[in-house]
Amino acid sequence: DDSTDQLVAGVGKNAVLLTWDGNSDQSEVPVKPLTSLESARAQTRTNDGKVDSSGRFWIGTMANEIDGQIAPNQGTLYRVDNDRKFVKEISPVSISNGLAWNIEDDTFYYIDSPTRVVAAYDYDPSDGKISNKRIVFDLNKTDLKGIPDGMTVDTDGNLWIALFGGQHVSI
């Protein structure tokens, strides 16, 4: 669909299609459920998502916080292909978070927050498949405080990582 007023979002444990022109001051927008993720896992929710260069939506899940705790290894990273089919890419994960692609579009970066590492995978933009996991940054081997969260790559190819609880900017 070539619609410019639709976007896919994670709401609870669902992937939904929202229709909004980006300008209207609407308190409610039309929402169409696309699918429920992890229907067998009652205590999970969507967390971080991003779109790749080919328009595929990547979205991760994690366990709901209960009594201040998040159960480990309950989440999954999904790739949503253009035909709206959901493909499990990485599972299990604890807190599916940062997603980014390098500017050459052949490497996918991923964060499962509690591990405190940034993993890289070979990435094929033609089909969205990832392979050959490797660790490219391990916060456990640094003095940096905080938990890796969101992530992006700038126009110079630099990888930027938000550290939840880090309380400063490190260069």
- Binding site for a divalent metal cation: residue ranges? 97, 149
Q: Pick out the residues of the known binding site for substrate.
A: 45, 47, 65
CA distances from 138 to 2, 28, 43, 104, 127 (A): 40, 42, 29, 23, 29
Is position 154 annotated as part of the catalytic site? Answer: no
Catalytic residue among 83, 106, 124, 149: 149
Q: Which residues are catalytic?
A: 149
